Structure 1
């Protein structure tokens, strides 16, 4: 247990530090958002691109990993939506938010700092494949479902075009696609550019954890614990369990990739979850869910590390 605490402890201490500094108003919320924008626009893309270009294409892409993580995430999305529609009686939009909360991990800001302590440079490869599934499959599908009522008769072609445009402008998607192409072609960056990417990549871990802590300030769970419990349990238990079962029994991968996939799935939902909820009038529910899942993920991640040995 001491070894597990040495992995998870620093992660959540940095999150707590970000929370405390923002709560004390030493950092304004606008500053925290700016740091988060830096991480998602520069630091994480640099880390992903650097990791992909330092490996051969065969080491970068594992089809079993992509299939298992994609299928497991889609199953979690579907189960979340089914529960919200059939059991809780919610409409399609809120049901989709339930499903996205259960299936979309904060793989970059929380999952990667943990996986990188176990796998080193290989963590970037696993993160790239995870984010490819999330950004090219699960999140676009969720956006299409959320926006289907707002299409005003423009049809599915309009929705697909809007989502595709947003996807192609994402720095993370650009970093993944260009990194894979460079790996496939065997291209290497000049030493100066490689060093720039290395320095940017080094900033990703600490800053991302600090940003997560700061973004939790002001979120409350009071009064809606019962409503958010299914999403939290689905994200922290059902999603990683589905990924584990698929990788263990149907789509085997190397042991280090299995560990990475399960730990990424153990991370709480994406940090923009309350922003999505705000657009559709459910910001309170989504904010409370994010706070509860982030706190509870300390125990789910620690438990998964213990089970995985």
Structure 2
């Protein structure tokens, strides 16, 4: 267990430093947005491009991984929507927020630094595969559910098209496409370009964690414990368990990537979760869920890592 904590503790220490920096007014929360945009628009795309361009196409186009992660994540998302809509009696957009919080992890900011420490270079491939599912499956589905209304099929259709149009303007999606092209034709960037990509990619982990920690300042959970707890259980427990269950339904593949799939699912929800909730007046609730889930993830991630190592399941 101490070995596991040695892996996860640095991740949360960097987040604590970000929190302390904002709390001590060394940085304003508004200034963190620029750092977050740097990670999303430059560092993470560089990381993905590096991962894809350095490996053969057969290695990075892992269909079983994509199927497992998509099946586990979509199951949890739709389950969360159903519970919120039919049991908690929330509107469809708000119910979609519940499902998104349960199934959409912070793979780039929290999941990747942990996976990289535990698994090394294969974590880059797993990150790319995870982001393909997130951006090509989960995000369009989330937007479709949040923007749709009963009986408005045409609107749902237009929303889906608009969602995909926005996705293909995303630097992350462009990096995925460029990386697949380079890998398909066995091409490599010139040495100076490759060096720039390496430098940008190296900045992603620490900066991302710092931003997450700083954004937790001022968030509160008061009066929302029941709904927040529901999302916490869905994200930190049900999501990794659903991905693990999905592994039992597909032919065996690389055990390292199997571990990575479960580890990414252990991450708390994405950092832009409160931004998604703004349109529906749920930014306070989403912020509270983000804070509580991110804080609790230190315990749950460490516990899942310990279970993975202690059981030896993925070493078979």
- Say if 2:46 and 2:200, in contact at 8 Å, map to a contact too: yes
What is residue 266 of structure 1 aligned with on the other side?
266
- Say if 2:168 and 2:174, in contact at 8 Å, map to a contact too: yes
What is residue 110 of structure 2 aligned with on the other side?
110
Distance in 1, Cα, partners of 2:162 & 2:51: 30
Deviations 1:111-164 (A, max 9, x none): 000000012222111000100000011111110111124998863342122111
Q: Which moved more, 1:157-166 or 1:259-268?
A: 157-166
Residue 251 of structure 1 deviates from its aligned partner by 4.2
Secondary structure of the 1:189 match is: coil
Q: How does 1:11-160 map to 2 (within 5 A)?
A: 11-149=11-149, 155-160=155-160
Secondary structure of the 2:245 match is: helix
What is residue 238 of structure 1 aligned with on the other side?
238
Distance in 1, Cα, partners of 2:130 & 2:177: 13
- Say if 1:247 and 1:253, in contact at 8 Å, map to a contact too: no
Distance in 2, Cα, partners of 1:153 & 1:159: 10
Residue 277 of structure 1 deviates from its aligned partner by 0.8
What is residue 295 of structure 1 aligned with on the other side?
295
May I ask how many residue pairs the two structures share in their alignment?
309
What is residue 187 of structure 1 aligned with on the other side?
187
Residue 56 of structure 1 deviates from its aligned partner by 0.4
Secondary structure of the 2:100 match is: helix
Q: Which moved more, 1:152-161 or 1:232-241?
A: 152-161
Secondary structure of the 2:221 match is: coil
* RMSD between aligned residues: 1.5
Residue 75 of structure 1 deviates from its aligned partner by 0.1
Instruction: State the 4+ residue runs in structure 1 displaced beyond 4 angstroms.
Output: 150-154
Distance in 2, Cα, partners of 1:226 & 1:158: 35
Distance in 2, Cα, partners of 1:42 & 1:118: 24
Deviations 1:47-85 (A, max 9, x none): 110011100011111100000100111000111011111
Distance in 2, Cα, partners of 1:149 & 1:37: 31
Distance in 1, Cα, partners of 2:284 & 2:39: 25
- Say if 2:46 and 2:197, in contact at 8 Å, map to a contact too: yes
Residue 110 of structure 1 deviates from its aligned partner by 0.2
Decide whether aligned partners of structure 1 residues 33 and 178 sit closer, same or farther in structure 2, where only a CA change above 3 A counts.
same
What is residue 247 of structure 1 aligned with on the other side?
247
Residue 285 of structure 1 deviates from its aligned partner by 1.1
What is residue 210 of structure 1 aligned with on the other side?
210
Secondary structure of the 1:250 match is: coil
